[in-house]
């Protein structure tokens, strides 16, 4: 068990191992993995979709709003959490791709809900190559792509 092996969703030790990874990553940046930060990670790990700050606080009312925002920011900058701008009133947060795996989103333009989806590797490869080609022509340095489907969810 090295600090670089990835936890596998479904594994019984998923949460425990994930906390070890995250704690180590934060320690490298002189940050502490405090209970508030652990609570944020657990809330996001238990949800199966990106959450807004109100969602997160509702899921764990012990969390103070200002601390939650501040800690989400720390975790985003540490690469543990990813921030999504979907156009609704609130920013959404989810675990970063090293933890959740690369994926994309269904975004409901009526209610603002977001659901994770996974595309086939053939699509991912073609998309990544096409984008890299274009980026290199313009001097743009790619970091990651986002691919979302906007529409109406089943409930709307």
Partner DNA sequence: CTTGCAAATGACACTCATTCCCAAATATTG
Partner DNA sequence: CAATATTTGGGAATGAGTGTCATTTGCAAG
Using CB under 7 A as the binding rule, whether residue 22 contacts DNA is answered as no
Which among 31-39, 48-56, 67-75, 109-117 is the span making contact with its own copies, rule CB under 8 A? 109-117
Which among 1-9, 16-24, 44-52, 136-144 is the span making contact with its own copies, rule CB under 8 A? 136-144
B/e letters for 28-55, b = 16+ CB within 10 Å, e = fewer, are eeebebeebbebbbebbbeeeebbbbeb
Q: What is the dihedral of CA 22, 28, 29, 31, to 10 degrees?
A: 60
Q: Give first-to-last CA distance, the chain, whole Å.
A: 45
* Smaller CB separation from its own copies, 20 or 74: 74
Residues 90-129 vs DNA: string with x where CB under 7 A?
Answer: xx--------------------------------------
* Smaller CB separation from DNA, 12 or 89: 89
Using CB under 7 A as the binding rule, whether residue 61 contacts DNA is answered as no
Read off the tokens for 53.
């700050």
Q: Is 108 helix (H, G, I), strand (E, B) or coil?
A: strand
Q: 82 is in the binding site of which of DNA, Zn ion, its own copies, none (Cβ under 5 to 8 A by kind)?
A: none
Instruction: Please state, in angstroms and rounded to a whole number, the distance separating the CA atoms of residues 129 and 4.
Output: 27
Residues 44 and 56 sit within 8 Å (Cβ to Cβ): yes
Q: How far is the CB of 23 from its own copies (least distance, A)?
A: 26
The contact set with its own copies (CB under 8 A) reads 83, 85-87, 106, 108-109, 115, 117, 119-120, 122-123, 126-127, 130-131, 134-135, 138-154
């Amino acid at each position: 068990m090295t600090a670089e092996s990835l936890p596998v969703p479904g594994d019984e030790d998923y949460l425990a191992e994930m906390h070890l990874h995250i704690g180590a990553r934060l320690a490298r940046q002189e940050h502490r993995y405090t209970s508030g930060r652990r609570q944020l990670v657990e809330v996001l790990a238990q949800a199966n979709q990106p959450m807004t700050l109100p969602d997160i606080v509702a899921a764990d009312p012990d969390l103070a709003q200002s601390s939650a925002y501040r800690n989400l920011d720390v975790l985003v900058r540490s690469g543990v959490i990813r921030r999504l701008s979907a156009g609704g009133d609130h920013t959404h947060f989810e675990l970063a791709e090293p933890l959740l795996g690369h994926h994309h989103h269904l975004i409901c333009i009526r209610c603002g809900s977001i659901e994770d989806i996974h595309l086939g590797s053939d699509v991912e490869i073609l998309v990544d190559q096409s984008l890299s080609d274009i980026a290199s022509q313009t001097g743009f340095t790619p970091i990651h792509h986002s691919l979302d489907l906007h529409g109406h969810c089943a409930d709307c």
